[in-house]
């Protein structure tokens, strides 16, 4: 809608002036077209109307909000890179027994003294592809790229204050050249940041390259964005995070109602089952905890497709205790940008003390810690034979506190 000021001045309206003045007004118009009053009452209640302008930069075609229940798991003690902290972790889900299971695992880890967590690598890639007439031109172009990495790094600070180009790798396939541009992204998850920076780099490359491509694409599927890939399993996309703990035999027997030996036997069986099914990585259910945490904390939930790729490992120690580790090579989280500033997401981050700049590493540590808790709990349930009965009782309303394994 053109503002009155623009109309009076008889000039082209700005982008802001072309944006509808009221998101809520447009939402009402859409509901009038849909003619579904019952659905409107659920999705576009007073809170959704009042918050409409808040969501302007996060959604198009706004018609309201969907309420997903949020539960608290924990406390979970983590020995992270910034010291030892205990977290109460918000999880958004509609799956009965999920919060109870993660809370049980968190309680067991905390009772055992807490888990160690480290972010061991980080980097977010965008991988443009350039097509040429022959491999001769492709090789010449790749050589040019490799000789001008410093020039490409100089482009990035003009696009973002927080992103940095860490490395450049070229991959030649026939007459195609893929360019893996890997960035550090500060406290943001960084997908948009690396997109904007890569677009600027590609235009700089095209301006100076001695050989022109026939065509090119900003992303050509080599980055692993929102996909489970074997490439990133051994490498990194986002943050590569590892958590581990030694669970004393007494805690395994008393709290999980099984033995370390049986837990390791299950791990071997599950690992072979994963090989037979062709899964990328070996783990029980990383996606459950990550999706619930991502949804609660304003993360890009679609990134669970890559973030849930990883490895769980269980071993006996020399004195009969249980060593457990989880490796997550693709944790895509941030504490600034995206949906993290939306009211509900910010509240969930505030519960953990992780809202705003300076906390993305700690949030990645929480991801690994809660995943570790989930692996301990679910594998313990399979080993004790409690998996089906726990889901059955909790989905029918059994008291949550009795499900935590604290008694």
- 304-361 pLDDT, tens per residue? 999 999 999 999 999 999 999 999 999 999 999 999 999 999 999 999 999 999 999 9
Q: Regarding the domain delimited by 71-121+229-403, which CATH topology (the fold level of the hierarchy) does it fall under?
A: 3.90.770
User: Is residue 402's pLDDT more than 60?
Assistant: no
Annotated catalytic residue within 244, 261, 300, 315:
300
65 — pLDDT class (breaks 50, 70, 90): very high
Handedness of CA 59, 63, 68, 70 (dihedral sign): positive
Q: Where does 128-217 sit in CATH, by number?
A: 3.30.70.420
Q: Is 401 a catalytic residue?
A: no
Instruction: Please say whether the beta carbons of 249 and 175 come within 8 A.
Output: no
Q: Helix-strand-coil percent breakdown of the chain, rounded to 5?
A: 45, 20, 30
pTM recorded for the entire structure: 0.89
Cis peptide before 9 (omega within 30 of 0): no
The residues of the chain that CATH labels 3.30.70.420 are 128-217
Q: What is the mean pLDDT of residues 384-388?
A: 76
Q: pLDDT tens for residues 193-250?
A: 999 999 999 999 999 999 999 999 999 999 999 999 999 899 999 999 999 999 999 9
Catalytic residue among 199, 235, 257, 391: 391
Full DSSP string of 332-379: ---SBSTTTTSHHHHHHHHHHT--STT-HHHHHHHHHHHHHHHHHHHH
Contacts of 245 (CB under 8 A, 6+ apart): 109, 112, 113, 114, 115, 116, 323, 324, 325, 372
Distance CA 360, CA 210 (A): 40
The percent of residues above 90 in pLDDT, for the chain, comes to 88
What phi and psi values does residue 363 have, to the nearest 5 degrees?
-65, -40
Region 66-91: what's the mean pLDDT? 97
The answer to whether residue 391 is catalytic is yes
Q: Is 300 among the residues known to form the active site?
A: yes
Helices (H), 148-181: 149-155
pLDDT at residue 391 in the model:
59
Comma-separated ranges of CATH 3.90.770.10 domains in the chain: 71-121+229-403
Catalytic residue among 17, 26, 95, 265: 95
What mean pLDDT, rounded, does the chain reach?
92
């Amino acid at each position: 809608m053109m503002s009155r000021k623009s109309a009076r001045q008889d000039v082209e309206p700005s982008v802001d002036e072309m944006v509808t003045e009221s998101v809520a007004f447009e939402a009402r118009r859409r509901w009038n077209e849909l003619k579904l009053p019952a659905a409107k009452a659920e999705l576009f209640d007073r809170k959704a109307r009042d918050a409409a302008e808040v969501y302007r930069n996060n959604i198009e075609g706004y018609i309201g909000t969907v309420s997903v229940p949020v539960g608290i798991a924990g406390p979970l003690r983590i020995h992270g890179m910034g010291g030892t902290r205990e977290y109460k972790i918000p999880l958004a889900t509609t799956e009965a027994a999920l919060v109870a299971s993660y809370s049980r695992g968190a309680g067991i880890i905390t009772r055992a003294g807490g888990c160690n967590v480290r972010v061991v690598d980080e980097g977010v890639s965008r991988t443009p592809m350039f097509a040429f007439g022959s491999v001769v031109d492709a090789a010449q172009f790749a050589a040019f790229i490799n000789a001008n990495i410093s020039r490409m790094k100089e482009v990035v600070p003009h696009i973002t204050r927080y992103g940095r180009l860490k490395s450049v790798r070229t991959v030649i396939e026939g007459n195609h050249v893929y360019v893996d541009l890997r960035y550090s992204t500060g406290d943001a998850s960084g997908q948009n940041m690396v997109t904007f920076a890569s677009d600027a780099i590609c235009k700089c490359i095209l301006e100076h390259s001695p050989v022109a491509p026939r065509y090119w694409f900003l992303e050509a599927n080599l980055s692993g964005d929102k996909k489970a890939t074997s490439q990133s399993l051994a490498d990194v996309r986002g943050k590569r995070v590892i958590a581990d703990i030694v669970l004393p035999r007494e805690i395994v027997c008393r709290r999980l109602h099984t033995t370390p030996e049986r837990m390791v036997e299950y791990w071997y069986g599950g690992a072979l089952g994963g090989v037979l099914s062709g899964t990328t990585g070996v783990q029980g259910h990383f996606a459950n905890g990550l999706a619930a945490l991502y949804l609660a904390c304003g993360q890009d939930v679609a990134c669970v497709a890559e973030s849930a790729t990883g490895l769980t490992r269980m071993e006996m120690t020399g004195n009969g205790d249980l060593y457990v580790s989880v490796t997550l090579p693709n944790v895509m989280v941030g504490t600034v940008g995206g949906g993290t500033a939306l009211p509900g997401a910010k509240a969930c981050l505030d519960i953990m003390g992780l809202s705003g700049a300076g906390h993305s590493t700690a949030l990645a540590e929480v991801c690994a810690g809660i995943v570790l808790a989930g692996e301990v709990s679910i594998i313990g349930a399979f080993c004790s034979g409690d998996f089906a009965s726990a889901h059955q009782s909790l989905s029918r309303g059994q008291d949550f506190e009795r499900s935590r394994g604290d008694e």
